Amino acid sequence: MTSAQSNSKGILFILIGMALFSIQDALIKFIYEDAALYELYFGRTFVALILLVGYLKFSKQKINLKTHYPFLTIIRVICFFFGFSFFEFEGVQHLIARSGWSKQGGYEVYVQDTKSGQKLYDHLFEAGKEFNVKPGCPNLIERIESGLLSYGNDFDNNDNPLECGFDQYVSLDSEINFLGKEELKKVKLEGIKKKLMGIKFDAKEVSLSGSLDLKDEEDNIIGELRSACYSPHFEKVIGIAMMKKPYWEVSQGVKAEINGNICTGIVCDLPFI
């Protein structure tokens, strides 16, 4: 096997391994919704050890703990949740990481320079012809449907983590101190006054360049629409809104002026899909 073939095979195995771990993470979170990050670490490590030892035994290969990149290996263990590794393409080292900005999870390649990056780009599209691979970009529809929040659009410094659904990522009972901890304790004790929720409108189009007031039947402002788009899946306009208490209950009716028309909608949970 040539060096290029071996390298391509290695990259393929990395991608397959990352995909399997992504499925494993999803299953753990599906079965145990409140699973902590360290529990995912343990589950990943346990399964990986079984698969690795089983493979080595089956293939009758010796267990070799040596590595050419000891420091990189240590960092990979620490950051195992994200997963990354170096690979070689036409004599140039690139970094591939299990990261990205989509609901499916993704992979990003960090190239060494423009010239080598262009060669890799062309090679990937040549190899992907049979799959009709095309260039893409972050998708607003997918982002909103998946409830992927955008800082500066869906929330900012005027909102706190408890209002944005980040409760599971904020530990107020630990001994670790951080900015805003005492204020967040007060918020948790008193209860939040607003909350990020989904909105479904009976409309086919929307143009949103800023926030939009949401009102009830009596024209009281009960929330603020912060992101919105037309969803082909739901065949209506959907959005992410910060709703005032107690108007964040699912099926709460709202209305807003969209493109010069008064449209009605309902509050729903996030994510949409």
Q: Is the four-CA dihedral 96, 10, 25, 200 of positive or negative sign?
A: positive
The predicted pLDDT at position 231 comes to 95
Query: What's the N-to-C CA distance of the chain in angstroms?
Result: 44
Q: Kindly give, in sequence order, each residue whose CB lies less than 8 Å from that of residue 252, ignoring residues fewer than 6 positions away.
A: 222, 243, 266, 267
Question: 186-236 pLDDT, tens per residue?
Answer: 999 999 999 999 999 999 999 888 899 999 999 999 999 999 999 999 999
pLDDT at 7 over 60: no
The predicted pLDDT at position 260 comes to 84
Domain boundaries, given as residue ranges, for the chain: 3-131, 141-268
pLDDT at 4 over 70: no
Q: SS3 of 153, please?
A: coil
Quote the distance between the C-alpha of residue 265 and its chain's center.
Answer: 27
The predicted pLDDT at position 68 comes to 59
Q: Kindly give, in sequence order, each residue whose CB lies less than 8 Å from that of residue 268, ignoring residues fewer than 6 positions away.
A: 197, 198, 199, 200, 250, 251
Reported confidence tier of residue 104, pLDDT bands at 50, 70, 90: low
Query: pTM of this prediction?
Result: 0.59
pLDDT at 9 over 70: no
Average pLDDT of the residues of the chain: 82
Among the listed residues 86, 82, 134, 80, the one whose alpha carbon sits nearest the alpha carbon of residue 105: 82
Q: Kindly give, in sequence order, each residue whose CB lies less than 8 Å from that of residue 134, ignoring residues fewer than 6 positions away.
A: none
Note the CATH architecture for domain 141-268. 2-Layer Sandwich (3.30)
Write the CA distances from 271 to 121, 200, 211, 245, integer angstroms: 33, 12, 20, 20
